[in-house]
Amino acid sequence: MWDGLVTGMMVGIQTTLIPFNIAVVLFGCFVGSFIGMLPGLGPITAVALMIPVTYGLEPSSGMVLLAGVYYGAIFGGSTCSILINAPGEAATVATAFDGYPLAQKGYPGKALAIAAYSSFSGGTIAVVLLMLTAPAMAHVAKSFQSCDYFALMVLGLTAVSAFAGRGGFIKALLMTVVGLMLATIGTDQTSGVQRFTFGTINLLDGLSFVMLAMATFAITEALMMILKREDTTEVFGSENVSNISNLKVTKKEFKKIAPTIGRCSLLGFFIGALPGAGATLGSFLSYGMERNLAKSEDKKEFGKGSIIGLSAPETGNNAASSGSFVPLLTLGIPGSGTTAVMLGALIAYGIEPGPRMFVERPEIFWTVIMSMYLGNVFLLVLNLPLIPYFARLLAVPRTILIPAIAFFSIIGVYLVTFNTFDIYMMIGISTVALLARMFGFPMAPILLGFILGGLMEDNLRRSLIIYDGSLSFLWERPITLTINLITIAIFMTPLIQLILASGKKSKTD
């Protein structure tokens, strides 16, 4: 085993260090980072745009380019989430929960730096794990069935507790239900039945994630800025320019986020290795896990600019994006929408990904893996010098910033579907979201429910078919039972803590 591993690594290193391939990795990381920073243009769009470029390249060079664009887009996607609260891609939604508040406190440079370091660490650790455990993880991924995926999605929904303030769990739960309801709009892919379309063809394909994200985060935030009459120049004045551009992360802060990076790298890689899970679930589960594991004093900071809350999803989504190459390269099964596009590129080259790829095309398999080391270094080198310039965006007067947020939100939504109906829908949803925020309802659970709703429904339907309509699938398989027990434990934890706290209080009295 180890002989084959060392041989494969050497092949990958030799192919990756060809000057042309080094240039390809650098170009892919740059293009991916740039596209990832634009609201509405995520990694799927970035990879799809680059596929025509790969037609004239060798298979190894072409796949290295697409891989660089993929994790470059994930890496760069945090910028808009942190600076203007506009997560244009599902995997960076959780980054906005603490990244944007930290930027609003006057530390956008530090927020972007922590995101960059966490992304680099998560991606690098995941590449090492990918290199060492890809065959074993392929067997684990194959053992997962629809009932296990359903349980995993329910576990993902437990992250709703991370978005609830003190006494706000019911509100967060209600918003999650709203998200699940919005996920049912459109045509049922199994039966072909139209659901909640109200007779309009504009809703046949359901709601766009980008439209919902922009409505509940970017546009709503711009409207809140108008209502509060806050001018960003008052917070980020000329005297605070050093804070804006300051990338310094103290030794104490590094020690604080180091365990988070380690845990979330492992969790993100495992989630990414499961077909269909992807970086989105990896980021949400990482955030929820760290929220539940945090000390009581650290837990209070979540949602208010916690560095742990920022580091966790950034580590998780980058580790998951590397982990998603496990099912792609070892099983020929795309682990996410982006790797599905990359699967099409492999097939176009006449390459059949799967277990035989280790033997038949080792240079492609190992070159993609080894290029990720190089890509993560390039991403850090490319992004860190630019952070001070990105951070100065928050010093722009609100008379310019608010129209700019609205412009990029509208353009981002329109470029996804080229349908003006989505723009009108975005305005309507943002109005309702504004009212909800004024009454203390969190917006994040809506996106959580919306993202996981479709996956939950599909896997629940398959499970019920396999088990003839019986709910016994929830406990018959050991994997499903274990995940469900973890879910119950997470749900019960806040209640147990409340009982213990009230017990201590009564003893004190």
The secondary structure of 426-491 as a DSSP string is HHHHHHHHHHHHHTT--SHHHHHHHHHHHHHHHHHHHHHHHTTT-GGGGTSSHHHHHHHHHHHHHH
Dihedral angle, C-alpha 376, 259, 286, 344, nearest 10 °: 20
Structure tokens belonging to residue 473 = 């699938």
* pLDDT score of 167: 57
CA distance 187 to 205: 6
Nearest one of 65, 117, 367, 465 to 264, comparing CA atoms: 117
Q: Which residues contact 429 (CB under 8 A, 6 or more apart)?
A: 211, 212, 215, 216
Is 218 in contact with 92 (CB distance < 8 Å)? no
Alpha helices in 276-419 (DSSP H): 278-293, 296-299, 307-323, 325-331, 337-348, 357-360, 362-383, 387-391, 398-417
**39 conformational bin, left if phi > 0, alpha if psi -120 to 50, beta if neither:** beta
pTM, to two decimals? 0.74
CA distance 327 to 142: 9
Q: How far is residue 143 CA from its own chain's centroid?
A: 24
Q: What are phi and psi of 195, to 5 degrees?
A: -125, 125
CA distance 4 to 55: 30
Q: Please report, for residues 230, 249, 445, the alpha-carbon distance to residue 242 in angstroms, rounded to integers and kept in the order given.
A: 21, 14, 35
Is 92 in contact with 69 (CB distance < 8 Å)? no
Q: What are phi and psi of 194, to 5 degrees?
A: -80, 135
How many CB atoms are closer than 10 A to CB 479?
15
* pLDDT score of 161: 62
Residues of the chain under the 70 pLDDT cut: 1-5, 39-42, 88, 134-135, 137-142, 159-168, 229-247, 275-278, 331-337, 354-356, 358-359, 391-396, 493-495, 497-498, 500-509
Structure tokens belonging to residue 391 = 């951070």
CA distance 105 to 127: 34
Instruction: Tell me which DSSP letter residue 384 carries.
Output: G
CA distance 410 to 207: 15
Q: What share of the chain is helix, strand, coil (3-state, %, to 5)?
A: 80, 0, 20
Is 307 in contact with 103 (CB distance < 8 Å)? no
Cα–Cα–Cα angle for 280, 284, 285, rounded to 5 degrees: 115
Where does residue 503 rank: exposed (0-12), middle (13-18), buried (19+ CB within 10 A)?
Answer: exposed
Instruction: Give the torsion sign (CA, 184, 175, 89, 411).
Output: positive
Give me the count of residues in the chain: 509
Structure tokens belonging to residue 468 = 């003839």
* pLDDT score of 442: 80
CA distance 152 to 144: 10
